[in-house]
A = this chain, B = another copy of it.
């Protein structure tokens, strides 16, 4: 089973990497860019049989390792 996880900074948390990319895009002439936010995109292949078991495990993994729940949000999609 393949899981796609998107980890993003919470609203209101400063994103210096996004600001740097925005600045570079402006320098390249893309001045219509108003805001850039950068997050992580994680694909996991997991051998668990049931969707319910996988869902519980993914939440645990995000809380323990993949995301920092204090400053980051995450969402995920499960593909068969």
Tell me the A residues contacting B by CB distance below 8 Å. 6-8, 18, 21, 24-25, 28, 30, 32-48, 57, 60-61, 64-66
Contact of A41 among B32, B38, B44 (CB under 8 A): B38
A8–B40 Cα gap in the complex (Å)?
10
Chain B residue with the shortest CB-CB distance to A60: B30
Q: Which residues of B contact A66 (CB under 8 A)?
A: 21
Contact of A65 among B25, B34, B46 (CB under 8 A): B25
- Whole-angstrom distance from the CB of A34 to the nearest CB of chain B? 4
Q: Which residues of B contact A24 (CB under 8 A)?
A: 65
Decide if B43 touches A41 in the complex (CB within 8 Å). Answer: no
Q: Which residues of B contact A43 (CB under 8 A)?
A: 8, 35-39
